[in-house]
Amino acid sequence: MRSFRVFIAFIIILTFLPACKKKEEPLFYESGRAEAPVKEPSREVLSIQQSFAASAKKVTPSVVNISAISKKKVVQPFQELSPFLDEFFRGMQPTPKYRREKSLGSGFIINKEGYIVTNDHVVRDGETIKVKLSNEKVYDGKVIGSDQKTDIAVIKINAREELPVAVMGDSDKIEVGQWAIAIGNPFGLSRTLTVGVISAKGRSGMGIETYEDFIQTDAAINPGNSGGPLLNIFGEVVGINTAIVAAGQGIGFAIPINMAKQVIPQLIKKGGVSRGWLGVNIQPVTDEIVQSFGLDKAQGALVNDVMVRSPAAKAGIRQGDVIIRFAGKAVKDVQQLQRLAADTPIASKVEVGLIRARKELKLYLTVASAESPEAVHSRPEDVTPSVLLGLTVEELPQQMRARGLTGVVVVSVEQGSVAAGSGLQKNDTILAVNQKKIENVIEYEKGVKEAEKTGSVAFLVRRGASNIYFAMRLR
């Protein structure tokens, strides 16, 4: 009997044991969209996502990967020695050595003839330039024109196929808060798309380029993005990605495409850019100047020098005038006036609004070329270069400038002067004043004037094959 009961209990346990077994969980869950965590995303979100995808599909094929190899001269140890040791080692300088540097960047095709827009710093001094298309084909690129002052360059490839092209938009119409899409090749990762917003417009004073009017965006821009397009939600190019703030995140800068539109035709036609010239030195209007000049607000550009026989001099502009309007546009600051003047067609007659002795005036000025003899050899009306430190300097000869050299050349040194006592000599080329690179006589004189306030000045001088620093006290 007992054996029978044990048997019955065993049968019952076997019957209910499967029901006690833990249910096995699936390895992963695959959505059939009906099981998606979010059942119905808003139409607005789906529309934005569709715009991003459409921009990637339509524009990405026109974005190219650019690699350039340049040859850089290696500075020899003897080139930084004092003038006393330089004489000892003269004739012992080793043969100049060079190193090859490779730069990576992006660009975008602007027409079916193979013209590509990129940054000047991506292809500058490039001996060989390779352009990789979205179909992985690689072509040799040739620099057609470049402009360091805006950091824009145009290169060309001779493709054997029909090329996809990017469509340019209107950067003047973008607003802070609008979507921004960046496409490029960061760190060599081909055709990467990032998304953000327009963070700010009209950024200047960054010290990146001569003419700055940057679009700021938080769309991720990294090394290798330079030269790639910044797009709006319609897939139109509104900027050229060009710079980042290394110490921050989400701070990138792009050149407005409207600025590029003014530069590109000149680069293609003649390889360079001709800019307008007024013939004034200007400085910011500070709160202190507002008070002392009796102005309403810190706006405009204060004229601190007028060049002899310049358009400004002929128009009647004087030292101490505050320019508040130019060619029908309000002048916000120094940088804006520089851009407006540079972008004005040569020989155009424009209206200039200014404040003089607390009264508003209107003058008419005919813009000249910054490449004209008057501009190249311009001098402030109240400065005589020959008396500055006992030095007489002139612009560099054209053949030296053609080789990319900048600065001024010493044509004479007054005996017994501070400059003569420091060791400066005739035919020296002054490259920088107090560690600030100079390009012409105007910048040299400005640098010396600023140095006079501190009581000392240091010149970086090129003599023969050597670079030498000369320092002197001014009082």
For the stretch 175-192, pLDDT in tens is 999 999 999 988 878 889
Percent of the chain exceeding pLDDT 70 equals 82
Residue 59, helix vs strand vs coil: helix
Residues assigned a catalytic role = 121, 151, 226
- Structural class in CATH, domain 171-270: mainly beta
Q: Is 403 exposed, middle or buried (0-12, 13-18, 19+ CB in 10 A)?
A: exposed
For residue 327, count other CB atoms closer than 10 A to its CB: 18
Residue 334, helix vs strand vs coil: helix
Res. 165: pLDDT tops 90: yes
- Taking the C-alpha atoms of residue 397 and residue 370, their distance in angstroms, rounded to an integer, is 16
pLDDT for 287 equals: 86
146 contacts 123 by C-beta, under 8 angstroms: yes
- Residue 82's pLDDT band (cuts 50, 70, 90): very low
- Taking the C-alpha atoms of residue 444 and residue 396, their distance in angstroms, rounded to an integer, is 12
- Taking the C-alpha atoms of residue 105 and residue 155, their distance in angstroms, rounded to an integer, is 13
Of 240, 275, 236, the closest CA to residue 58 belongs to 236
- Taking the C-alpha atoms of residue 141 and residue 423, their distance in angstroms, rounded to an integer, is 47
Res. 355: pLDDT tops 50: yes
Instruction: Give the mean pLDDT of 25-51.
Output: 74
CATH topology of domain 60-156: Thrombin, subunit H (2.40.10)
**Residue ranges of domains in the chain:** 60-156, 171-270, 276-373, 383-473
Instruction: Give the mean pLDDT of 269-276.
Output: 89
Instruction: Give the mean pLDDT of 248-268.
Output: 90
Instruction: Give the mean pLDDT of 264-274.
Output: 91
Q: What is the pTM of this model?
A: 0.66
- Taking the C-alpha atoms of residue 58 and residue 29, their distance in angstroms, rounded to an integer, is 34
- Taking the C-alpha atoms of residue 183 and residue 466, their distance in angstroms, rounded to an integer, is 43
Q: Which run of H or of E encompasses 54?
A: helix 43-59
One fold for both 276-373 and 383-473?
yes
Res. 16: pLDDT tops 70: no
196 contacts 216 by C-beta, under 8 angstroms: no
Instruction: Give the mean pLDDT of 164-169.
Output: 94
394 contacts 411 by C-beta, under 8 angstroms: yes
Q: Which two tokens stand for residue 35?
A: 């099981």
For residue 53, count other CB atoms closer than 10 A to its CB: 11
Q: Which two tokens stand for residue 374?
A: 């008057």
Between 37 and 424, where is the model more confident? 424
The CATH number given to 276-373 is 2.30.42.10
Give the number of C-alpha atoms closer than 13 A to the C-alpha of residue 393, restricted to the C-beta side: 30
CATH topology of domain 383-473: Pdz3 Domain (2.30.42)
